[in-house]
Amino acid sequence: MHIHILGIGGTFMGGVAQLAKAAGHEVSGSDARLYPPMSTQLEAAGIAVHSGYDPDQLDPAPDQVVVGNVMRRGVPVVEALLDRGLAYTSGPQWLAENVLPGRWVLAVAGTHGKTTTSSLLAHILQHAGLEPGFLIGGVPADFGVSARLTDSPFFVVEADEYDTAFFDKRSKFVHYRPRTLVLNNLEFDHADIFPDLAAIQRQFHHLVRTIPGSGLIVRNAADSALDAVLAMGCWTPTAAFGLDAGPPGDWQARLLVEDGSRFEVRHAGRVQGEAAWGLLGRHNVSNALAALLAARHAGVPLATGLEAVATFRGVARRLQVLGEGGGITLYDDFAHHPTAIATTLQGLRANQPQARLIGVLEPRSNTMRMGVHSAKLGASLAAADLVYLYQPTDLNGSLDTAAQALGQRAHVSTDLDALQAALLARLQPGDHVVFMSNGSFGGLPMRVREALEQRAGAA
């Protein structure tokens, strides 16, 4: 079967493409913009990608078109698809009908930490010899790809609450029917499709309704927004987890060092084991505990899970070290919500208490561009010693409020070249620089790295 995927460059749709290819289909696709790591993965998988959304890409007609949620009515290829009466479906629906039936699905939902938790869960199952398939919204370093199809009955999926397609406005995750569900946390996000937190909670409860009574919901005990979701009705056993400073849960993690690189796991107050690993921050310890409990439900002993945690190599673009030039360390991070920005910087601060920490932010998500979180942005960057803010032309409002909250630490620019020049002029050996964006940031992180390498070479 020839499957053509519209919006193939997104992490989810690119993952669907790789699964379809692995299942033996002829796969092609199109996108307006394509950049690493998905462009690299699609090329490696031998999947042809058409640039843009003109109708010609539907000649000859594919057997099925899978429509990404980035596609809208009025886009030429969408109008041609409908006019010609071609067979089409959404990415989540295709996954649910072609990959997930008959498998033990382990889904990870929540506003933050989905990618890291999903990646670690897949790594734990792999370490235990279960050879899981997976579809994750990032690239786990231990696998090198965002999606994999295996013969294993176990499949890990990052369960996103964003809408499915222009013809199906339900959240993607209601299609997956998991047996094991992680509810990591819940905050207001995706303001372009949800009017308020209650609307997101309703979608989360639709997901809860699909979990069988023989399944398990692993939930964050410290999140009151999740309390409200489960209060709407729950027909599945739950396992609560939390950190030492939060409300008591059935399972708890206690940090053994401030940056979270060593922690122990307790159950009902008794130590069950400990782990030392390469990730930083309280949020990642919470992610690890959730993954350990989900894997335990699938039959992986906690001790085996902790062994796997110690060898977990992280996820691309999650505080990923890009390189070091002239004694300056550069990181790439996907953070695009005030909570994620704050936890990323706090984790690195705990690990590098004496270093100068510099945050460089592109407010690129739809919610950020709408200005929904502008009042919280300054506080989220408080752990940084210097902050460079890029203000895109389509931002609703300005970044002045955030800059004022940060005082002389903040620098705002509407031009990436000017921002790069201003940043390079201030960098000095020993600095740690974190680039934060859910897009490519116009290639700025790599441009700065190359400039630092050239500067170091010329010295």
Residue 303 burial (10 A CB sphere; 0-12, 13-18, 19+) = exposed
C-alpha 367/C-alpha 341 separation (Å) is 14
Picking from 179, 187, 182, the residue whose alpha carbon sits closest to that of residue 158 is: 182
What one-character DSSP code corresponds to residue 407?
A: G
Is 115 annotated for ligand binding? yes
CA 199 to the chain's CA centroid: 21
Is 411 annotated for ligand binding? no
- Say which amino acid occupies 79: E
Angle at Cα 146 formed by Cα 143 and Cα 147, nearest 5°?
A: 95
DSSP letters, 3-71, are EEEETTTSHHHHHHHHHHHHTT-EEEEEES---TTHHHHHHHTT-EEEES--GGGGSSPPSEEEEPTT-
Residue 28 burial (10 A CB sphere; 0-12, 13-18, 19+) = middle
Is 113 annotated for ligand binding? yes
Is 376 annotated for ligand binding? no
User: Residues 420, 421, 426, 429: what is their CA dihedral angle, to the nearest 10 degrees?
Assistant: 70
Is 329 annotated for ligand binding? no
In DSSP terms, which residues pair with 88 in a beta bridge? Answer: 65
- Decide: 176 and 208 in contact? Cβ < 8 Å: no
Q: Which residues contact 252 (CB under 8 A, 6 or more apart)?
A: 241, 242, 243, 244, 265, 266, 267, 289
Other beta carbons within 10 angstroms of residue 270's beta carbon come to: 7
**For 437, phi and psi rounded to 5 degrees?**
-165, 150
- Decide: 99 and 155 in contact? Cβ < 8 Å: yes
C-alpha 397/C-alpha 388 separation (Å) is 17
Helices (H), 154-297: 197-208, 224-231, 282-297
C-alpha 40/C-alpha 14 separation (Å) is 11
- Decide: 175 and 140 in contact? Cβ < 8 Å: no
Annotated binding site: 110-116
Annotated binding site for ATP: 110-116
